[in-house]
Homo-oligomer: A and B are copies of this chain.
């Protein structure tokens, strides 16, 4: 498979798991930074290869085959991220950039070796689940978005689901790291803003941030 095919199915996959998010052709074009015409062409081509379900003017969806490919690319991406962080000591931001390139040129064999070396981790350092070789992905139903968390309750951070430098820098400099304890003070306008306490300091989070941080309710609180 080529880089553009990998990226195409990966993008549709990511978009489709964001439950309410649509897979409109123009959304995919936007995420891939290509014209709609290019996306139409690619959709046709991959429909013919049995990776994408394509009907003119309809949203794009993956076939089982296509989803399998997407998960395999995601698997390699996340194994690299974990490896680059744990073994080579790159930062959370750096690992994303490098993994983005390496993922397309990693054999299944090598991916398996990395996984084994790491001791079969369930998630990346940002808390993202790593799909298994046969396309299984462990969905942690105990976690929810910070924007949907309940006021007055204490949670622990379980996943930082963003790869922008700004976002990761912001999280780190405010102590928002995997495992950190967060108390929800108040939700404003049903999640448009979320006020939290972390390390005794109060922060007001914009929904753009609270929508990509997952938390898990702490049992002993």
A interface, CB within 8 angstroms of B: 84, 87-90, 94, 97-98, 101-102, 104-107, 109-110, 113-114, 117
Contacts and interface: CB of A to CB of B under 8 A. Distances in A.
A92 to B, nearest CB: 15
Contacts of A117: 87-89
A81 to B, nearest CB: 13
A113 B87 CA distance: 10
A110 B98 contact: yes
Contact of A94 (B89, B97, B109): B109
7 contacts: A84-B110, A87-B117, A88-B110, A88-B117, A90-B110, A94-B109, A104-B105
A105 B102 contact: yes
4 nearest A-B residue pairs (beta carbon): A101-B105, A88-B113, A98-B110, A88-B117
A7 to B, nearest CB: 13
Given A88-B113, A101-B105, 4 more contacts: A87-B87, A88-B117, A90-B113, A101-B107
